C-alpha cells in the first residue's frame, strides 16, 4: 500500500467506500425502530413518540449509535448484521465487515496532509496517529481541526464510518464534565464507552453543528 500512488490509493478507497456504504445500508435492517427511537430520544430528537430532526444528518447520529453501541449484555446492530451477512471469507466484503466491527470512536485532530492521499490525524484520547483517507475532509479540514469520528481500518489507511462532528475545547469540557461523573478509567475506556459518543452527538444536535459538515464522501 505504501508503494501505491495517489490514483491507485483513491481507486482502492472508492471501492472500499462503496462496500462500506452497502454494508451500512444493509445493517440498518437489523436496527429495530424501538432501538432507533431510544437513541434519538437520548439525543433530544424526539417529541413524545415522534422523531423530530432538523436534517437527515441528525438522524444519522442516532443510527450510528444504534449500529455501533449497545448496553452491556446486548448486541450491537452491526454485530447482528455480520452474523447474517453472506460475505465470502477473505473477500473485500468480508474484510470491510471485520473492519467495521473493530471501528473505534474518538476525537481526532488533523495533523497534516498525508504525502500521498488523505490526512494524518491524531487520536486525542489514545495519542496515536492514523492515516485517514477521505476525499471531502482532505479538501476541507485544515491542520488543527478537531473532529469526532468513528473510523474503520480495512487497509493501511482508515476510513470514516459516516459521522463527522466538529468539536472544540468548550464542547469537550462539557462532555468530560458529564462523562467523569459516570465513567471511571483511562482515556481509552472513556472513548470506548457508548456514553462518550452520545454526549458529543447530543451537544451537536443542541448546537445545530451538523449544519456545518457533510457526511463521508459522495458515492
Q: Is residue 73 part of a domain?
A: yes
Instruction: Write out the residue range of the structural domain in which residue 206 sits.
Output: 6-212
Position 219 pLDDT exceeds 70? no
Predicted pLDDT at 2: 54
Position 217 pLDDT exceeds 50? no
CB 119 within 8 A of CB 197: no
pLDDT in tens, 50-64: 878 777 789 999 999
The answer to which of 39-53, 140-154, 194-208 has the lowest mean pLDDT is: 39-53
**Nearest 5 degrees, angle CA 213-CA 217-CA 219?**
140
* Cell numbers describing residue 51: 422523531
Predicted pLDDT at 213: 63
pTM for this prediction: 0.91
Q: Is residue 218 part of a domain?
A: no
* Cell numbers describing residue 168: 472544540
Side-chain-facing half-sphere of 104: CA atoms under 13 Å: 20
Q: Is residue 219 part of a domain?
A: no
Question: Which range has the top average pLDDT, 45-49, 171-175, 209-213?
Answer: 171-175
Mean pLDDT, rounded, for 71-98: 94
Mean pLDDT, rounded, for 35-46: 94
Q: How confident is the model at residue 216 (pLDDT cuts 50, 70, 90)?
A: very low
Q: Is residue 61 part of a domain?
A: yes
Q: Is residue 217 part of a domain?
A: no
How many CB atoms neighbour CB 69 within 10 A?
21
Q: Is residue 1 part of a domain?
A: no
Predicted pLDDT at 21: 97
3-class SS letters over 54-96:
CCHHHHHHHHHHHHHCCCCCCCCHHHHHHHHCCCCCCCHHHHH
pLDDT in tens, 160-193: 999 999 999 999 999 988 887 777 788 999 999 9
Q: What is the mean pLDDT of the chain?
A: 91
* Cell numbers describing residue 7: 490514483
Mean pLDDT, rounded, for 60-69: 97
Position 159 pLDDT exceeds 90? yes
Q: Is residue 155 part of a domain?
A: yes
Predicted pLDDT at 75: 93
Closest to 140 in 3D by CA, of 154, 167, 119: 119
Q: Say what percent of the chain tops pLDDT 90.
A: 77
Residues 113, 193: Cα–Cα separation, whole Å: 30
Mean pLDDT, rounded, for 30-46: 94
Helix residue ranges, H only, the chain? 6-27, 33-42, 56-68, 77-84, 92-101, 135-140, 169-179, 187-192, 194-206
Number of domains, the chain: 1
User: Facing residues of 109 across strands?
Assistant: 122, 146
CB 111 within 8 A of CB 121: yes
Residues 143, 110: Cα–Cα separation, whole Å: 5
Pairing of strands 159-166, 146-152: antiparallel
Amino acid at each position: 500500500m505504501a508503494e501505491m500512488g495517489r490514483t491507485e490509493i483513491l481507486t482502492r478507497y472508492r471501492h472500499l467506500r462503496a462496500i462500506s456504504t452497502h454494508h451500512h445500508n444493509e445493517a440498518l435492517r437489523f436496527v429495530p425502530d424501538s432501538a432507533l427511537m431510544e437513541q434519538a430520544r437520548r439525543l433530544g430528537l424526539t417529541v413524545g413518540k415522534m422523531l423530530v430532526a432538523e436534517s437527515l444528518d441528525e438522524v444519522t447520529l442516532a443510527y450510528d449509535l444504534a449500529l455501533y453501541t449497545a448496553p452491556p449484555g446486548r448486541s450491537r446492530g452491526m454485530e447482528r448484521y455480520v452474523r447474517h451477512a453472506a460475505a465470502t471469507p477473505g473477500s473485500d466484503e468480508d474484510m470491510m465487515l471485520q473492519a467495521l466491527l473493530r471501528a473505534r470512536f474518538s476525537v481526532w485532530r488533523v495533523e497534516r496532509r498525508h504525502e500521498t492521499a488523505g490526512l494524518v490525524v491524531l487520536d486525542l484520547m489514545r495519542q496515536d496517529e492514523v492515516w485517514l483517507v477521505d476525499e471531502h475532509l482532505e479538501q476541507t479540514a485544515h491542520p488543527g481541526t478537531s473532529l469526532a469520528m468513528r473510523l474503520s481500518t480495512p487497509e493501511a489507511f482508515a476510513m470514516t464510518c459516516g459521522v463527522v462532528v466538529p468539536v472544540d475545547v468548550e464542547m469537550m469540557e462539557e462532555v468530560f464534565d458529564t462523562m467523569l461523573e459516570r465513567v471511571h478509567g483511562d482515556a481509552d475506556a472513556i472513548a470506548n464507552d457508548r456514553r462518550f459518543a452520545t454526549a458529543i452527538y447530543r451537544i451537536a444536535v443542541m448546537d445545530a453543528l451538523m449544519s456545518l459538515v457533510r457526511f463521508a464522501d459522495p458515492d
